[in-house]
């Protein structure tokens, strides 16, 4: 559940970190979004606080006293309090049981801290049912679950490059991936894939090379399934091929709409469309910088800055460094369909 900063008022986060520079930065960023941050530079004392305090979440540094910090994590987990790890490199010191816990990798970036704190201030809602494409595939072949490998989506990493072998199919569970189209030296986003979709469904059409680039735009979690296992499953059960082809059809429809929007709509309309699509997948608080928007919309950065200013002035969004928050979704939808700003 992604929450806006206004909903984080009166929330308390426990920070366990012994590096003064780091915990001061974490504490400051939390304060800027109205989150009360309590710092503990001693893991033993933090364990007591974790056991008896009232916490909305926690940020745990895994670069010191790892076993004691993991004891804090165990206590928070027992109490169903969500937490985030701070690590030097992704996965460092993180045991398998906590492989799905979000991680802040040094050097810490403010927008990533804000995103993770706002996203994981509450446990995931119980009504979330996971990726529907994966659920449909597993309903046809439950044994494929044993072939799945969960992994974290790292922002700005590339999952597939054009022409690369499709060794895995990736089911997105959280976060957001962008499909990037390229013509000569020009690039633009032509599709978004969130927890409703799958990357690599083209193997259902017997395409064994990636047809386009897919980048991670917003970090999250995913599960990879070996292409060979899925190809065999499709031979055994044609319904699985149909499931993947439907998903690929949905993505193709996105491509068609993106082409129409890019050819006919103004920057403000295209930006509104992008914001609506993101909010449908991750919620109203969207971590993004103008540089990324420039690439996604294939326009120069000054044009993005002006478009963001126009939408904010019209009361459709609220923008701050590294984030855009949806304020009036209904009007954003109208704008995405070609309406004009007043």
Neighbours of 109 (CB within 10 A): 16
The structure's pTM equals: 0.66
Q: Distance between CA atoms of 240 and 231, rounded to whole angstroms?
A: 9
In Å, how far are 72, 113, 218, 326 from 297, measured between CA atoms?
Answer: 43, 25, 16, 18
- Tokens at 90, concatenated: 């992704």
**pLDDT value at position 214?**
95
User: Residues 131, 172: contact at Cβ < 8 Å?
Assistant: yes
- Tokens at 233, concatenated: 């499953």
Count how many Cα atoms sit within 13 Å of the Cα of residue 338 in the half-sphere of its side chain. 7
Hey, what domains does the chain have and what are their CATH numbers? 5-119 (3.40.50.2300), 132-263 (2.60.120.10), 265-336 (1.10.10.10)
User: Residues 35, 8: contact at Cβ < 8 Å?
Assistant: yes
**pLDDT value at position 3?**
33
pLDDT in tens, the chain (342 residues): 233 333 444 578 999 988 889 889 998 888 888 888 899 888 888 898 998 888 888 999 986 557 888 889 888 988 888 888 888 887 677 886 777 778 888 888 888 788 777 766 434 444 456 899 999 999 999 999 999 998 888 888 999 999 999 899 999 998 899 999 888 887 888 899 999 999 999 999 999 899 999 999 888 889 999 999 999 999 999 999 999 999 999 999 999 988 888 888 899 999 999 999 998 888 887 887 777 787 777 788 888 889 989 998 888 988 877 778 888 888 999 999 988 887
Among all chains, which residue has been given the structure tokens 């659920």?
A: 135
**pLDDT value at position 121?**
46
Give the chain as a 3 state SS string.
CCCCHHHHCCEEEEEECCCHHHHHHHHHHHHHCCEEEEEECCHHHHHHHHHHCCCCEEEEECCCCHHHHHHHHHHHHHCCCCEEEEECCCCCCCCHHHCCCCEEECCCCHHHHHHHHHHCCCCCCCCCCCCHHHHHHHHHCHHHHHHCEEEEECCCCEEECCCCECCEEEEECCCEEEEEEEECCEEEEEEEECCCCEECHHHHHCCCECCCEEEEEECEEEEEEEHHHHHHHHHHCHHHHHHHHHHHHHHHHHHHHHHHHHHHCCHHHHHHHHHHHHHHHHCCEEECCHHHHHHHHCCCHHHHHHHHHHHHHCCCEEEECCEEEECCHHHHHHHHCCCCCC
Residues sharing a CB contact under 8 Å with residue 143, sequence separation 6 or more, in sequence order:
none
């Amino acid at each position: 559940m992604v929450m806006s900063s206004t909903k984080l008022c009166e929330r308390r986060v426990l920070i366990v970190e012994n590096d003064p520079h780091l915990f001061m930065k974490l504490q400051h960023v939390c304060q800027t979004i109205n989150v009360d941050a309590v710092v503990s530079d001693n893991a033993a004392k933090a364990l007591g606080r974790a056991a008896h305090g009232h916490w909305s979440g926690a940020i745990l540094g895994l670069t010191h006293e790892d076993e004691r910090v993991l004891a804090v994590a165990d206590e928070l987990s027992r109490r169903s309090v969500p937490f985030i790890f701070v690590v030097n490199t992704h996965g460092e010191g993180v045991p398998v049981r906590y492989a799905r816990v979000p991680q802040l990798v040094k050097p810490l970036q403010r927008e990533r801290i804000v995103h993770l704190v706002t996203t994981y201030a509450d446990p995931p809602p119980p009504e979330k049912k996971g990726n529907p494409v994966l659920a449909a595939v597993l309903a046809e072949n439950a044994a494929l679950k044993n072939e799945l490998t969960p992994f974290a989506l790292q922002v700005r990493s590339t999952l597939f490059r054009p022409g690369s072998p499709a060794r895995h199919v990736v089911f997105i569970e959280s976060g957001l991936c962008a499909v990037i189209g390229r013509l000569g030296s020009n690039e633009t986003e032509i599709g978004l894939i969130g927890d409703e979709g799958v990357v690599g469904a083209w193997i259902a059409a017997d395409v064994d090379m990636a047809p386009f680039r897919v980048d991670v735009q917003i970090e999250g979690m995913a599960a990879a399934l070996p292409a060979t296992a899925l190809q065999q499953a499709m031979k055994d059960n044609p319904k699985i091929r149909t499931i993947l082809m439907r998903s690929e059809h949905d993505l193709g429809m996105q491509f068609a709409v993106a082409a129409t929007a890019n050819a006919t709509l103004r920057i403000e309309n295209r930006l509104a469309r992008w914001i609506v699509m993101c909010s449908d997948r991750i919620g109203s608080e969207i971590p993004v910088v103008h540089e990324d928007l420039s690439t996604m919309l294939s326009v120069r950065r000054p044009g993005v800055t002006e478009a963001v200013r126009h939408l904010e002035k019209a009361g459709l969004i609220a923008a701050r460094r590294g984030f855009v928050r949806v304020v009036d979704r209904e009007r954003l939808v109208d704008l995405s369909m070609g309406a004009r700003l007043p």
